[in-house]
């Protein structure tokens, strides 16, 4: 009597089919994980670029919102000069936004800040740079510390709202020298020039009501992003000081006990632009 033949294990064809199925499933899983990793990397890259752009924009709007002009200079050295030089692609201004980081440093909340574009050291494109001068003087266009705020910035644009014309201007320039009257700055230099010496024409010089900021980024992958924001300037009129009613002596001179106080320069808050 013959015994029935019992087959043990798999045939070669069955093994090859099983291996093919496993390889196919592994390839599908690998491609899925690769796509997921690539998408996660892209998401992190976009988040990083957007975060850096938002931080830069937030800093610019904050510092511009606290821009100021002053009709006064120091009577003695060191003299000071306040400016607002707004161009289409760069801007320089005095601001009250400075924060002192070093204890006992001879700094206040005043500073001169400039934003501009220039090519970086690796020549991979332009970057947004910030120059800050923490001790304002009579030469605001020189000195200070320059730092890179944002890489890969292709373009930078500023626009300035003129309320009188109800339109955006591409430039807006005012300096403390614009308030000079008769060869002398309309300020308390020695205490013998008060605000009534300033003409009505000088009182029309002020900062813009709003500033629009726009810049465009390009990252390493070639993706382009555009960011835009606006900020109001809260101290549009130049800072002006005069002595209190009891501080003026005879002949318009100070009696020695007056304390300067900040007052409007004669235009109400609903006035025009420049």
As a whole number of angstroms, the distance between CA 44 and CA 234 comes to 37
Question: Is the model more confident about 78 or about 197?
Answer: 78
How many Cα neighbours within 13 Å face the side chain of 38? 7
> What pLDDT, on the 0 to 100 scale, is given for residue 10?
72
pLDDT at 270 over 50: no
Question: Is the model more confident about 208 or about 218?
Answer: 208
Measured distance between the N- and C-terminal CA atoms of the chain, rounded to whole angstroms:
118
Q: How many CB atoms lie within 10 A of CB 110?
A: 19
pLDDT tens per residue, range 9-24: 678 888 888 888 888 8
> What pLDDT, on the 0 to 100 scale, is given for residue 129?
95
Residue 222: its H or E element: none
pLDDT tens per residue, range 86-130: 999 999 999 999 888 787 778 888 999 999 998 865 545 689 999
Domain residue extents for the chain? 44-239
Question: Is the model more confident about 238 or about 43?
Answer: 238
> What pLDDT, on the 0 to 100 scale, is given for residue 213?
97
As a whole number of angstroms, the distance between CA 264 and CA 241 comes to 9
Pairing of strands 261-263, 240-242: antiparallel
Among the ranges given (125-139, 143-157, 195-209), the one the predictor scored with the smallest mean pLDDT: 195-209
> Does residue 74 contact residue 101 with C-beta atoms inside 8 Å?
no
- Residue 136 corresponds to which tokens in the numbers above? 């304002």
- Residue 27 corresponds to which tokens in the numbers above? 């390839």
> Does residue 15 contact residue 9 with C-beta atoms inside 8 Å?
no
State how far Cα 191 lies from the chain centre: 36
> Does residue 64 contact residue 232 with C-beta atoms inside 8 Å?
no
Question: Is the model more confident about 165 or about 242?
Answer: 165
Question: Is the model more confident about 36 or about 66?
Answer: 66
Highest mean pLDDT among 68-77, 88-97, 188-197: 88-97
Q: How many CB atoms lie within 10 A of CB 63?
A: 20
pTM of the predicted model as reported, rounded to 2 decimal places: 0.68
> Does residue 82 contact residue 175 with C-beta atoms inside 8 Å?
yes
State how far Cα 142 lies from the chain centre: 19
Residue 70: its H or E element: none
> Does residue 204 contact residue 272 with C-beta atoms inside 8 Å?
yes
> What pLDDT, on the 0 to 100 scale, is given for residue 170?
94
User: 15 by DSSP, 3-state: which?
Assistant: helix
Mean pLDDT across the chain, nearest whole number? 76
pLDDT at 206 over 60: yes
- The angle formed by the CA atoms of residues 39, 43 and 47, to the nearest 5 degrees, is 175
Q: Give the model's confidence band at 180: pLDDT under 50 very low, under 70 low, under 90 confident, else very high.
A: low
User: 105 by DSSP, 3-state: which?
Assistant: coil
Q: What is the chain's percent helix, strand, coil content, to nearest 5?
A: 25, 30, 45
As a whole number of angstroms, the distance between CA 226 and CA 53 comes to 9
- Sorted by sequence, the CB contacts under 8 Å of residue 172 that are 6+ apart come out as 84, 86, 160, 162, 207, 208, 274
pLDDT tens per residue, range 223-238: 788 999 999 999 998 8
């Amino acid at each position: 009597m013959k015994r029935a033949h019992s087959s043990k294990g798999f045939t070669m064809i069955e093994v090859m089919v099983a291996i093919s199925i496993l390889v196919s499933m592994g390839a599908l899983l690998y491609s899925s994980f690769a796509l997921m990793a690539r998408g996660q990397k892209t998401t992190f890259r976009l988040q990083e670029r957007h975060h850096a752009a938002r931080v830069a924009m937030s800093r610019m709007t904050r510092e511009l919102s606290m821009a100021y002009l002053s009709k006064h200079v120091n009577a003695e050295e060191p003299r000071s000069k306040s400016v607002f030089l707004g161009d289409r692609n760069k801007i320089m201004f005095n601001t009250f936004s400075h924060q002192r980081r070093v204890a006992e440093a001879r700094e206040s909340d005043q500073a001169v800040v400039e934003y501009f574009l220039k090519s970086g050291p690796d020549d991979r494109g332009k970057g947004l740079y910030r120059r800050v001068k923490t001790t304002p003087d009579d030469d605001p266009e020189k000195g200070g510390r320059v730092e890179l705020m944002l890489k890969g910035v292709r373009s930078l644009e500023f626009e300035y709202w003129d309320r009188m014309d109800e339109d955006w201007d591409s430039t807006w320039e005012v300096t403390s020298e614009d308030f000079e009257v008769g060869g002398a700055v309309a300020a308390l230099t020695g205490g013998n020039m008060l605000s009534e010496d300033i003409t009505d024409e000088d009182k029309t010089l002020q900062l813009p009501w709003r500033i629009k900021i726009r810049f465009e980024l390009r990252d390493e992958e070639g993706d382009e992003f555009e960011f835009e924001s606006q900020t109001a300037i809260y101290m549009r009129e130049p800072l002006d000081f005069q002595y209190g009613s009891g501080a003026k002596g005879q002949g318009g001179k100070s009696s020695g006990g007056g304390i300067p106080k900040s007052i409007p320069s004669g235009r109400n808050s609903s006035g025009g632009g420049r």
